Amino acid sequence: MDLTLNETQEMFKKVAADFVKAEVPAHEMTQWYRMKETFRPDLYRKTAEVGWVGMLLPEKYGGGEAAYTDCAVVFEELGRGPVPGPLFSAGALGAQIVFEGGSEEQKKSWLPEICRGELIPVPAFADTAAAWGPESIETRIAKSGDGFTLQGKKRFVFDAEAATHFIVAARTENGEVALVLIDRKSPGITVNRLIGFTVSAAEVVFEGARVPSSNVISAGSGWRILDAALEKTLPLLCSYQVGACQEIFDFTVEYTRSRVVFGQPIGRFQRVQDHCVDISIHLDAARWATYETLWLLDSGQPAKASVHEAKAIASEGYHHACNYAHMVFAGPGTDYGHPLMAHSVLAHTLYQYLGTPAHHKKLMMDELFPRAR
Amino acid sequence: MDFNLQEDPPELAAFRREVAAWMEENMRGGDHLRWSASWSTRENEEEYHFRRNLANKLGRKGWLFPMFPKQYGGAGMTMAHQVVLETELLKYGLSLSHVFYTLARIVAPVVLKWGTEEQKREFLPPMARGEISVWQVLTEPQGGSDVANCQTKAIRDGDDYVVTGQKVMVGHHVAPDFLWTLVCTNPQGKRHENLGWLHIPANLPGIEIQPMYLMMGIKNSVFFDGVRVPAKYLVGGENNGWKVANTHLELEHGGDGRIGVDPLVERVIEYCQKNEAGGKKLIEDERIRDTIADMMLELNTLRRFNQRNFYHRFARKPHPYGGVQQRYFQRMARLRNGERLQQIMGVDALVQDLSVHEVVDFEYAVRTGPGQLHGGGTLDTDRLVFARRVGLGRPVFEKAPETI
């Protein structure tokens, strides 16, 4: 047993922390979130240059061949920003889908481009608002000439605005799930940003958009591929949320020292202390669930139930950490100029993204205790 | 990161085999006596003797305190050895840190930290061999959380301290060999500087123990009426009791850490696979599955907090607030799980099942939800300590006391 980060991980952590400090200063970051201009092409290019895009992939495809935990410490620091951009959606999940399901030719041609940050493949799979399982895939794919066409509406595509391409999950004529890579500039694709208490998300509409045959990643076993890619990358999203919770905890603790009311720092009030205890519990519950899952993946043990558990705990944790921080910060925490607002809107978005905690708890139970048929 | 508790480095494989064989031999015929918390409140004599006897046998091999130096009754082993012992015992639902029916798991490390060489040589070996049972007696009738406001007096008179006062809500159904306690050695002294810590032989004249019937089972009142305690039983020196208390409380308040899985979920699953409602097994019911999932997530989180604290303790990497965080979470989770059990199995959650150990009895779990909210200090003291350790509203934060 050794519950510490190793030297490499400590180094990755420091590099990432310095990067966040230099490239994502709070006064700029808060404005990106306020204006919903969260895709920063320069920032994404820089993260690719440092080697964080496709970090899990083998070197022969341009990846970093990093261990899950190595990669996760980077995501944790990025979550502290919170650094926006498609580093998870395209750089981890999208890349992993291509790696899991693509032909050797597709991998050779797409993955190095993905790792350089030039091809940004954003997954678009759920058509419905409140489901993320295979049942949520309704967009139809149909044969047309020497290629295919897509017809349907993906309700919640995270990082859609950053996409150069979408990885679309669609129903074939016989009801199977296909996966295709489609150029965002193809005629028949509309990206409608979602306006509200969410960020970096859009509805993507496909109206007869054409996909060449060479861009089909899977003709019928798309769900299995998605599932495999999610199992390996969701823990990185959890780490991102852990980092975010840590940042919230740290700036909230600091605020209890500097904010004085009724003649004393608010941290001397037990009610305020209670909120901080609650933040710490969500933070550390998420941190250790995520670490344990990463360890299972790194040591080649079955991790599926644990991945779902970590996603449930981390999304719930980030959401609640924000809520408790709002109790401490009161008015000033609702100002879009305050980092808490960026976290708050992102926490609600990530609570939904790729499935709510309830969804993942259900999947955990199904994995551990399969239902009678 | 390595959470592994089962795969040992090659040099430990033989040790695991040895422990496994030893446990098999010594648990023979004791299948119905699996499972343990610090003690059972059921006053089962057979279980009491079996477990004390087992502790004694483990202790003679140095395995109760495997990391303690040999001269004090330990085995001078490493954390990896301790993990092997913990995990092999766990197969029988037992745990080293519960050193059966005694609080030696906390007392012995405190003696190791604060005792004189003479005291260590005298007090530790019998504890480490599992021969004696020690009760922690801290709470007084006027209050528990404000431990430093201790009214039990111990006034020096020649070679003795004369102890007078009362402690409440302590121990279990069989009287102990020693009472481990905080006393006021200087009634005129400043708060925190007027205390002493005594390791009192329980058979001294003037000590009377009376049972109290509580929500969580039998506990006791201990009366001291002019009890003459030889000065050699003072641990940590004159008027230094508060420092000793800090080490003790850090261990008691979650800082001791633990390895192991709460067996409750396993039993809930078993129950839900066996029982039906409306012709459908409970485990197939969506609502019940959701409730079990919530329970499981919290118990897994607790398991990870425990393992984290265990690691930090034995790797000597003090965690500023890990102890109280675990403890606060553990008690709140227990309370929530009590309600979940009622939602899952209805009235069965309120009826004792004597065919299983109380650690996995639903009724016990429900009853001790509210019943164990206060033991060793309230939820509020947990959160107060947390605030100090993090430095909420303060320019500096308090370090966690050193433990062993």
Q: What's the pLDDT tens digit per position in B206-223?
A: 999 999 999 988 999 999
- The residue of chain B nearest to residue A373, with distances taken between CA atoms, is B284
Residues of A in contact with B294 (CB under 8 A): 361
pLDDT digits (tens, 9 = 90+) for B51-78: 889 999 999 999 999 999 999 999 999 9
Check residue A157 and report its DSSP letter: E
Interchain contact, A1 vs B2, CB within 8 Å: yes
Interchain contact, A276 vs B4, CB within 8 Å: no
Peptide bond into B201 cis (omega under 30): no
Residues in chain A with pLDDT < 70?
Answer: none
Q: Is the dihedral of CA B60, B62, B65, B69 positive or negative?
A: positive
Looking at residue B317, what is its pLDDT? 86
Lowest mean pLDDT among A98-112, B33-47, B95-109, B156-170: B33-47
pLDDT reading at B358 higher than 90: no
User: CB under 8 Å, gap of 24 or more: what pairs does B46-53 form?
Assistant: B48/B101, B48/B173, B48/B174, B51/B100, B51/B101, B52/B100, B52/B101, B52/B130, B52/B133
Name which of A254, A259, A288 to mutate to probe chain B: the one with the most chain B Cβ atoms within 10 A of its Cβ: A288
Comparing CB atoms, the residue among A265, A274, A288 nearest residue B308 is A288
Residues of B in contact with A313 (CB under 8 A): 297, 301
Is there a contact between A92 and A159 (Cβ–Cβ < 8 Å)?
A: no
Helix (H) or strand (E) holding B1: none
pLDDT reading at B403 higher than 80: no
Flag whether residue A69 sits within 8 Å of chain B, measured between CB atoms.
yes
- Residue that the structure tokens 């295919």 belong to: A148
Residues of B in contact with A291 (CB under 8 A): 1, 3
0.90 exceeded by the pTM?
A: yes
- The residue of chain A nearest to residue B272, with distances taken between CA atoms, is A369
Question: What stretches of chain A adopt beta strand conformation (E)?
Answer: 121-124, 140-144, 147-158, 165-171, 177-183, 189-193, 201-212, 216-218, 260-261, 264-265
Q: Which of B118, B129, B2 is nearest to B64 (CA)?
A: B129
Interchain contact, B312 vs A3, CB within 8 Å: yes
The residues with which A152 forms a beta bridge, in sequence order, are A206
pLDDT reading at B367 higher than 90: yes
Q: Across chain B, how many H-helices and E-strands are there?
A: 11, 9
The stretch B334-344 carries a mean pLDDT of: 97
Write out the residues of chain B at the interface with chain A, using a CB-CB cutoff of 8 A.
1-5, 79-80, 83, 269, 281, 283-284, 289-290, 292-294, 296-297, 300-301, 304-305, 307-308, 311-312, 315, 317, 321, 325, 328-329, 380, 383-384, 386-387, 390-395
Looking at residue B165, what is its pLDDT? 97
Q: Kindly report the average pLDDT of chain B as a whole number.
A: 92
Q: Calculate how close chain A gets to B201, using CA atoms only, in Å.
A: 39
- Residue that the structure tokens 């979920």 belong to: B265
Q: Where does the pLDDT of residue B142 fall: very low under 50, low under 70, confident under 90, or very high at 90 and above?
A: confident
Interchain contact, B384 vs A270, CB within 8 Å: yes
Interchain contact, B394 vs A289, CB within 8 Å: no
Question: Whole-angstrom Cα distance, residue B81 to residue B75?
Answer: 10
The stretch B308-322 carries a mean pLDDT of: 91
Q: Where does the pLDDT of residue B376 fall: very low under 50, low under 70, confident under 90, or very high at 90 and above?
A: confident
Helix (H) or strand (E) holding B250: helix B241-250
Interchain contact, A1 vs B311, CB within 8 Å: yes
Q: Calculate how close chain A gets to B143, using CA atoms only, in Å.
A: 20
pLDDT reading at B8 higher than 90: no
Which residues, including other chains, have CB under 8 Å from residue A323's CB and lie 6 or more apart? none
Looking at residue B377, what is its pLDDT? 86
> What distances in angstroms separate CA B24 from CA A9, B17, B20, B28, B352, one per listed residue?
42, 11, 6, 6, 29
Looking at residue B37, what is its pLDDT? 66
Lowest mean pLDDT among A175-179, B138-142, B293-297: B138-142
Measured N-to-C along each axis, helices B286-314 and B264-274 cross at an angle, to the nearest 10 degrees, of 160
Interchain contact, A267 vs B393, CB within 8 Å: yes
Tokens of B23: 């446990």
pLDDT digits (tens, 9 = 90+) for B12-58: 999 999 999 999 999 988 877 777 666 777 888 888 888 889 999 99
The full DSSP string for A117-149 is: TSS-EEEE---SSS--SGGG---EEEEETTEEE
